[in-house]
Amino acid sequence: MKYSSTLLSALILASQSYTALGTFTIAAADSSTGQVGASGSSCVSGSLYTVAYHSIPNHGLCMTQGSPPANPDWDPDVTEPSPVYGVIDAMLANDTDPSIIIDSITNPKLDDERFMFAFKSVNYRQYGCVDLKGRAAGYTGKDLAKLYAIMTFGKENVQEDVQGTIGDIVYSAQGNIVSKTTVTTLQSTFVSDGACDLVERLYNSLAAVFESQELIGDIRCFDDNNAAGSSVFIHVDNADGSEVISIQNRDPNTSVNPWEEFKGEYEAWREDNPCPAAQDVNTAVSR
């Protein structure tokens, strides 16, 4: 009893002082076009894209979420980025298998960050990596569920990651502090028929969560803005590093539902960047 109440107060304190960034994202790499990208959302007021998205165009992409490693890019209290980010960049650049990238960055010898002196940060992280060689791997820290059970006072939420392929595209979908069907909704939408390109698959996955009849997504937003999340993004790069699409809300507010504005910006982008003709899509599918 004594131990668990100490643990409880430590975790509550930790959850306030430490970036606990629940998130759902789907990352993908399309070897037929050389494009890599992701979409996702989280109930936070900062930019999820800035925190979570780490890619080397023409190679691959890793999402860093849950409690991501320290990084001055988004945390003014730290001066040096965690060595995890350098390893991700170097290993994506030299085409290391994503499962080896994940093994390397979850090695406590590399990631020895702690919070409240006692808790191993690596157990609160979540990663999803994909590459243009058609490989994917994920990681969900084993103590995330315990932390969130305390933060949410026992409201049901899940932490999981799934990987797969559809044609020439490999993906990794992951969520933490999300409702039960969030990650499966991302995944099943991503692989379903009807999308003309990688951007549309990524957008449709996010839309399926935000437009679900039943409220799903990052459960922390359900009472705040009655939506799946507050910070939302989609980003895809070409093999040469040029941006295909990059849309995010730059000043998210957890009490504002971002979806209609985001959707409007996506639809405007799509008008300027139309799908290939239906004929081409059919040819691509039956290839």
Restricted to residues 134-193, the positions that interact with ligand NAG (CB under 6 A) are: none
Stretch of residues binding ligand NAG (CB under 6 A), selected from 46-54, 75-83, 174-182, 251-259: 251-259
Choosing from 8, 12, 13, 90, the residue that interacts with ligand NAG (CB under 6 A) is 90
Q: Nearest approach, Cβ of 96 to ligand NAG (angstroms)? A: 5
Stretch of residues binding ligand NAG (CB under 6 A), selected from 84-92, 106-114, 181-189, 240-248: 84-92
205: which 2 tokens?
Answer: 């996955």
Interface mask toward ligand NAG for 91-130; x: CB under 6 A: x--x-x----------------------------------
Stretch of residues binding ligand NAG (CB under 6 A), selected from 87-95, 156-164, 234-242, 258-266: 87-95
* Calpha distance 135→164 (Å, rounded): 9
* Calpha distance 209→227 (Å, rounded): 9
276: which 2 tokens?
Answer: 């290939």
Size of the site for ligand NAG (CB under 6 A): 8
Q: Nearest approach, Cβ of 29 to ligand NAG (angstroms)? A: 18
Assess contact for 81 and 112: CB atoms under 8 A.
no
* Calpha distance 73→269 (Å, rounded): 27
Sheet holding 53-56, edge to edge: 53-56, 60-66, 125-131, 136-140
Q: Quick one: 11 or 105, whose CB is closer to ligand NAG?
A: 105
157: which 2 tokens?
Answer: 């939420």
Amino acid identity at 96: T
209: which 2 tokens?
Answer: 């969560």
246: which 2 tokens?
Answer: 């990059």
Q: Quick one: 175 or 252, whose CB is closer to ligand NAG?
A: 252
Restricted to residues 182-211, the positions that interact with ligand NAG (CB under 6 A) are: none
Restricted to residues 36-55, the positions that interact with ligand NAG (CB under 6 A) are: none
Q: Quick one: 94 or 279, whose CB is closer to ligand NAG?
A: 94
Query: CB neighbours of 104 closer than 8 A, spacing ≥ 6?
Result: 87, 91, 96, 110
Cα separations (Å) of 76 from 66, 84, 178, 254? 19, 18, 27, 20
Amino acid identity at 68: P
Q: Nearest approach, Cβ of 86 to ligand NAG (angstroms)? A: 8
Stretch of residues binding ligand NAG (CB under 6 A), selected from 14-22, 56-64, 83-91, 273-281: 83-91
Q: Quick one: 129 or 236, whose CB is closer to ligand NAG?
A: 129
Q: Nearest approach, Cβ of 287 to ligand NAG (angstroms)? A: 32
> Is residue 256 part of the contact set for ligand NAG (CB under 6 A)?
yes
Task: State phi, psi for 243 to the nearest 5 degrees.
Answer: -80, 130
Which residue in 268, 228, 264, 234 sits closest to 248, CA to CA?
Answer: 234
Assess contact for 217 and 210: CB atoms under 8 A.
yes
Q: Quick one: 10 or 256, whose CB is closer to ligand NAG?
A: 256
Q: Quick one: 255 or 273, whose CB is closer to ligand NAG?
A: 255
Q: Residues interacting with ligand NAG, by CB under 6 A?
A: 87, 90-91, 94, 96, 253, 255-256
